Amino acid sequence: MEASNEMGLKLIGFWASPFCLVVEVALKLKGFTYDYQEENLEEGKSESLLRYNPIYKSVPVFIHDARPIVESLVILEYLEDLLREPPLLPADPFARARVRFWVDFFYKKIVPPLRSIVVKEGVEQEKVISESTQHLRTLEQAAAEEFPTETPFFCGDLPGLLDIVFGSTVCWIRVLEELTGSQMMSKETTPVLCRRIESFTGCHAVKEAMPKHEKLLAYARRLRERILALNAG
């Protein structure tokens, strides 16, 4: 299949969103050409976001030939269905199921406590940091025991679904660590995950799409101030 925007592909995204980053990285890895519309979530929501995603009103929204597809994982599966190469999932059905399990674990167990770090304070914040750290250690154990450790990525020589989902969140993990003076991942405690991140962030597609640390940190500070002020008021 020709990778060109004659297919009418468009992404509505927000630069600081890890859910949008996973879609951007997958699009770039697969070589799709697409239009991009930045949704300034700090200012509100555009009419097109509300029209294309009336249920969740969130980004990313992927549009193919005027038809919207929402939810980052649904979009990634759609991209895989649209163009198999390079594959995001291994060929073996059992290996595919294991990747899907750990992606699901990441979204259900790691993302929620990570997301709440920025809006919590004191003991409550320590609790969600510890929860995130503990689940990252569980993922580390799986990375060491269930997946080959001699290859650069979880399933071999190419970045796949798990690399994209985990790797795209790392910029936020680093920002949250700096914001709170904590350490959720390190070469000592999560060595395999750290190697996976190194391989992932070394990819051209990732370098192009990953937000810069200082810009993301400033955004996280603004977000925290805004939410804490809302909670106080």
* Residues of the shown chain interacting with ligand GSH in the complex, contacts defined by CB under 6 A: 14, 17, 19, 41, 57-60, 71-73
51 or 57: CB nearest ligand GSH: 57
For residues 180-204, b (16+ Cβ closer than 10 Å) or e, as one string? bebebbeeeebebbebbbebbeebe
Closest-CB residue for ligand GSH?
A: 58
Render 155-185 in DSSP notation, one character per residue. Answer: TBSS--HHHHHHHTTHHHHHHHHHHHT--S-
113 or 190: CB nearest ligand GSH: 113
- Closest approach of Cβ 56 to ligand GSH, in Å? 7
- Closest approach of Cβ 123 to ligand GSH, in Å? 26
19 or 166: CB nearest ligand GSH: 19
Strand, coil or helix: 68: strand
14 or 190: CB nearest ligand GSH: 14
The residues, ordered by sequence, that sit 6+ positions from 146 with a Cβ below 8 Å of its Cβ are 98, 102
CB 50 within 8 A of CB 1: no
Helix (H) or strand (E) holding 61, with range, is: strand 61-64
- Closest approach of Cβ 78 to ligand GSH, in Å? 12
Q: What is the DSSP letter of 7?
A: G
Strand, coil or helix: 9: strand
11 or 136: CB nearest ligand GSH: 11
- Closest approach of Cβ 148 to ligand GSH, in Å? 27
Provide the sign of the torsion angle of the four alpha carbons 69, 71, 74, 76, taken in this order. Answer: positive
19 or 147: CB nearest ligand GSH: 19
Q: What is the DSSP letter of 2?
A: -
- Closest approach of Cβ 4 to ligand GSH, in Å? 25
- Closest approach of Cβ 207 to ligand GSH, in Å? 21
